Structure 1
Amino acid sequence: MALNAKLEDILSKTYAPDARIDQIYHGKDLTFITNELGEPVTLFIGKRREDGAIAGERYVRRIIRKPNSNDIQRSHWELKGKVSRST
């Protein structure tokens, strides 16, 4: 399943480095993990359980950078499958 364009806009922003961000988007719970540059690289989307874990789907972002730069040349999100909890 491809990600919604509006959701991709949220995930294209820069956040705190090496952070875990919890949000709600259109009634679904989101948790995403950022890398050392604050770019979301792992996404869990589904229903949050009482222990804070998400049962749903996990996506991983592939980032291709411009040579000798931290600028993103292109990136895409890959569905990695179902999860019963996030880390």
Structure 2
Amino acid sequence: MKIGDKLLKVLNKTYEPSTMVTRKFGRYDLAMKTDEAGNPILLFIGQADEQGMIKGDQFTRRLIKDENGVTLKDHWDYKGKV
């Protein structure tokens, strides 16, 4: 699975820091773990079961900023099926 432009708009938003955020995106369920700044760094996308566990794909984010807060690297890596 590939992350498209519409999903990137959702992932580039800032959420509550250091939490697991769940939401719907089209026909998919999303679960995003955020860092201390509220940026999503871990993404699970697929179909949630009765317990809320997502069966689908996992992505991790490489987000590197310098001391001034300027983004040097921002990339999502596909980690496989979950």
Partner of 1:53: 53
Partner of 1:7: 7
State the shift of 1:47 in Å.
0.4
| Residue identity opposite 1:54 in structure 2 | I
Partner of 1:26: 26
The two structures have a TM-score, normalised by structure 2, of 0.93
| Alignment map for 1:58-77 (pairs within 5 Å) | 58-66=58-66, 68-77=67-76
| Residue identity opposite 1:48 in structure 2 | A
Q: Structure 2: 5+ residue runs without aligned partners?
A: none
State the shift of 1:2 in Å.
2.2
SS of the residue 1:23 aligns to: strand
2:71, 2:37 → 1: CA distance?
11
Q: Structure 1: 5+ residue runs without aligned partners?
A: none
Instruction: Name the count of aligned residue pairs.
Output: 82
| Residue identity opposite 1:82 in structure 2 | K
SS of the residue 2:69 aligns to: coil
SS of the residue 2:61 aligns to: strand
Cα RMSD after superposing both structures: 1.1
State the shift of 1:65 in Å.
1.0
The two structures have a TM-score, normalised by structure 1, of 0.88
Q: Percent identity?
A: 38
State the shift of 1:78 in Å.
0.4
